[in-house]
Structure 1
Amino acid sequence: MTPSTPSAAPKLVLEQVRKDFTVKDRGGRGRGARPTAEPRATRLTALDGIDLEIAPGEFTVLVGPSGCGKSTLLDLLGGLTTPDGGRILLDGRPVTGPGLDRGIVFQQYALLPWRTAQGNVEFGLEATGVPRRERAGRAWEFLDLVGLAGFEDRHPHELSGGMRQRVAIARALAYDPDVLLMDEPFAALDAQTRESLQDELLRIWQRTGKTVVFITHGIDEAVYLGQRVAVMTSRPGRIKQIVRVELGDRTATDDPRSSPEFARHRHEIWSLLHDEVARAQQLEKEEASV
């Protein structure tokens, strides 16, 4: 389970990345306070000083407390927004916007309800200019890759939640991006389906060799999937520590979730997160009382 090549030049580089947001606050939210007539704008730093390198073919997982900027960081990697400080490089070139070298899978499937599974996968190929005669074959290939052979003609409402997410993954992979960005893609699924899709994702990653950046709130999911787990601090989000996970072949017969190594990694990450979650909760209380 080692598609990455650590000795190669990094695929992704984040150097001192900062992201700020302007938020409007009417003030006076404390008990008995009267809201001000005009909203006031305040500057909020979501991410500050993010330094991270990701090797080609590496599976990296980001975990952190709610509000630490995980999704913001993924948006920056996808080029959906731009940093206010620092820079992001992909293959040595600055990321300045969205590109076909990156595929994004969100928690919500974002499938077109009037299109079949095949049609949804083909939609991404249409946008990238793949000729009509090639689209069907590519769509079948990637639906088969995610275990949906035979479901090409089903519409989203005819598919389970897990199957819809498989379609979303197939759509992201079909135009062959170098990097796959995944923002809590399994969070809305039941536990059994989530574990099944984790196994499918590992199998797909091993077959394709894609560089994967995966966001999750689940420590077990982070340990099971990631070669490295980047633990983030409470807001403003920074990289607190990177944990290298050594579990061997996670697609072998024995489930590594029951191994002593899994328990050790899980406890290490939980310990790193424990104080950050407490700080995040305290920050929320302070902001609510202002």
Structure 2
Amino acid sequence: MTGISIRDVSKTFQVREESFTALDGVRLDVRRGEFLTLVGPSGCGKSTLLDLVAGLAAPTGGEILIDGVPVAGPGLDRGVVFQQYALFPWRTAQANVEFGLEAKSVPKKERARRAREHLELVGLAGFEDRYPHELSGGMRQRVAIARSLAFDPDVLLMDEPFAALDAQTRESLQEELVRVWERTGKTVIFITHGIDEAVYLGQRVAVMTSRPGRIKEVVEVRFGSRAGDLRADPAFGEYRHLVWSLLRDEVAAAQAQERKAASVHG
């Protein structure tokens, strides 16, 4: 089954007179319809990799294929949800969701229908006419997710979308996102710093090394059932421990890199 294929991808940035390599030889395949979470220490290139898949930047080396077609730039086959909601404050929730559909020249009545349908999908039926400032942080993030889903992308790319939310809202949205994914069958790549979040959401957890970022290992996450509280399942703790054991040395290496950079520029 084809999906996303990341083949020996590297990315080097030029900063003033110096260059640094954010990613080096990343290899990863994401199956169509899979929910994959991506974890790694700060500065390892997680967001850079997501930008490359989104087509917002080009790799220095290697290539990224979606269903066998090379990524050459942004496309409507991919929806992106960032940590910041990026909603238009002068548009209602409904009008924010309709925005991407306007770019596709979807007729007005169809836009309205699809926007209402996707707001209902993320649990916001009845809030169509609210403006962003009238919504909580969690509700604004739901609008952002609905907007990305409304134009029906094959792939949903999410860069720490729940990081700024309180713990209860975050867990509620995690459950909501799993429900939406199960209903829509989208291919999802979800970046997070949280090991618990990665294990709860992901069918697989890809662990990245410290910079330059590579894929260290991919952990298969298998629960007998998603019914009930997964976090109380003994297997949840085992998976969490495994992911942390893979991350521990990478976090220490990233911290050492930060201390070295601080001493050089201090």
Gaps of 5+ in 1: 1-7, 25-40
1: CA distance, partners of 2:144 / 2:204: 24
- Report which of the two has the higher share of helix: 2
- Report the counterpart of residue 274 of structure 1 in structure 2: 248
CA drift of 1:248 comes to 3.2
Q: Map 1:1-290; keep pairs closer than 5 Å.
A: 8=1, 10-24=2-16, 41-250=17-226, 252=227, 254-290=228-264
TM-score w.r.t. the length of structure 1 is: 0.90
Report runs of 4+ in structure 1 exceeding 2 Å deviation.
none
Gaps of 5+ in 2: none
- Report the counterpart of residue 30 of structure 1 in structure 2: none
1: CA distance, partners of 2:144 / 2:225: 26
Give SS of 2:222's match. coil
Q: Figure out how many residues of one structure are paired with residues of the other and give that number.
A: 264
User: CA deviation digits over 1:27-75, x for unaligned, max 9?
Assistant: xxxxxxxxxxxxxx11100000000001110000000000000000000
- Report the counterpart of residue 3 of structure 1 in structure 2: none
CA drift of 1:133 comes to 2.1
TM-score w.r.t. the length of structure 2 is: 0.98
Give SS of 1:205's match. helix
1: CA distance, partners of 2:224 / 2:89: 40
CA drift of 1:177 comes to 0.2
CA drift of 1:124 comes to 1.1
Over aligned residue pairs, what C-alpha RMSD do you find? 0.6
CA drift of 1:134 comes to 1.0
Give the direction of change, closer, same or farther, for the CA distance of 1:283–1:167 in structure 2 (3 Å limit): same
Percent sequence identity over aligned pairs: 72
User: CA deviation digits over 1:229-275, x for unaligned, max 9?
Assistant: 0000000000000000012332x1x2010111000000000011000
- Report the counterpart of residue 35 of structure 1 in structure 2: none
Could you tell me which amino acid in structure 1 is paired with residue 98 of structure 2? E
User: CA deviation digits over 1:208-231, x for unaligned, max 9?
Assistant: 000000000000000000000000
